[in-house]
Amino acid sequence: MGSFPDIRTNLGDYVKQFVDFLDTTLEGFFDFIFFISSRTINFLDDLLVTMPWWCFVLIIFLLGWYFKSVFSGILYSLFIFLIGSFGLWEDMMTTIAIILTAVIICLLIGIPVGIWMAFSKGFSNVMRPLLDAMQTMPSFVYLIPAIFFFGLGNVSAIFATLIYALPPVIRLTELAIRGVDQEVIESAQSFGSSRGQMLRKVQLPQALPTIMAGVNQTTMMALSMVVIASMVGAKGLGEQVLVSINRIDIALGFEAGISIVFLAIIIDRVTNGIAAKFQRGIK
């Protein structure tokens, strides 16, 4: 008697129907996305793999040196060298290519959406719960429609990564634009700035440090998706972790895992350094 009444809400079915509907009606659109994403990944991957190894290590050193310190530069290039010495050089390059592609697409979508939210209270109210859902929904769930739209492979991985990693850059862009000092806005207005001039010459430059903090977070979240994304066929370090789980291969698991940690440290510190540089330029 106390058991739940015999009611079944088929919400999942509706979502499935919706996804089916999207797949058929927006097929061309998805093909386009697929084309762009796969070309970008392949281009970056080829570029990174064909680059002489010492050249890449040097680039990492220079980035670390410029945005942090000489010591950081040496440390980061040592990290990269270690990853190579684990025999994971090409996997690392694939991972970097996937992350870069995902982050570029995130910024292309996220920054305009964030700006729009900053200007439109209504749009912001609609988007905010959506962003919450995107961030809290278990990220595995995104894998299913991703396969559905794009099949197994790197593009699906990017799609899932995108949904998970997009919210921070959107949120922080909105926050940054809204947070520009009211008097600075008024002074730009008082000179007769048009809306476009205001955005280009005042609001965006003023907001840049905070937006960069969003870019940093988005990048880190994209990196945190690499293992999950490998379940839909993404190559790279994530795939190696997955393989090691299947084989219960502690050695490989640790090497691939620590490689991801190294990458995370480098990417975090460098993007942070970039954000700090902007901050100094602006304050």
Partner 1 sequence: METKIKIDHVSKIFGPKPKSVIPLIKEGKTKNEILAETGHTVGVYDASFDIKKGEVFVIMGLSGSGKSTLIRCFNLLNKPTDGSIYIDGEDIVTYKKQDLKKVRQEKIAMVFQHFGLFSHRTILANVEYGLEIRGVSKDERRAIALKNIEIVGLKGYEDKYPDELSGGMQQRVGLARALANDPDILLMDEPFSALDPLIRREMQLELLDIQDRLQKTIIFITHDVNEAFKLGDRVAVMKDGHVVQVGTPEEIIESPANHYISEFIKDIDRSKVFQAEHIMIKPNALVSLKDGLNVAIKEMEENGISSVFVVDRGRRVKGIVTIDDAIQAKKEQKSLSDILRDDYAVVEKEEYINDLIPKALESKYPLAVVNDEDKLIGFILRVHVLSGLVSDDIEESNEYYY
Nearer to partner 1, 49 or 274 (CB): 274
Q: Where are the alpha helices (DSSP H) in the chain?
A: 11-25, 27-50, 53-67, 70-85, 89-119, 121-136, 143-150, 154-178, 182-190, 195-197, 204-224, 226-230, 237-247, 250-282
Least CB distance from residue 113 to partner 1, whole Å? Answer: 23
Minimal distance, residue 109 CB to partner 1, in Å: 25
Which of 87, 112, 151, 281 touches partner 1 (CB under 8 A)? 281
Size of the site for partner 1 (CB under 8 A): 21
What is the SS3 string spanning 79-122? HHHHHHHCCCHHHHHHHHHHHHHHHHHHHHHHHHHHHHHHHCHH
Closest to partner 1 by CB, 80 or 188: 188
* Contact (CB, 8 A) for 88 and 243: no
Binding mask 200-229 for partner 1 (x = CB under 8 A): -xx--xx-x---------------------
Asked if residue 121 binds partner 1 (CB under 8 A), the reply is no
Distance CA 198, CA 201 (A): 6
* C-beta closer to partner 1: residue 245 or 282: 282
Separation CA 201–CA 167 (nearest Å): 25
Pick from 79, 73, 104: nearest CA to 92: 79
What is the C-alpha to C-alpha distance for residues 12 and 14, in angstroms, rounded to an integer?
Answer: 5
Task: Report the nearest approach of partner 1 to the CB of residue 257 (Å).
Answer: 41
Query: Is the Cβ–Cβ distance between 37 and 158 less than 8 Å?
Result: yes
Least spacing, CB of residue 61 vs partner 1, in Å: 30
Nearer to partner 1, 24 or 182 (CB): 182
Q: Which is nearer to partner 1, 8 or 283 (CB)?
A: 283
Q: Which positions from 161 through 200 interact with partner 1, judged by CB under 8 A?
A: 181, 183-184, 186-194, 197
Nearer to partner 1, 6 or 183 (CB): 183
Positions that interact with partner 1 (CB under 8 A): 181, 183-184, 186-194, 197, 201-202, 205-206, 208, 281-283
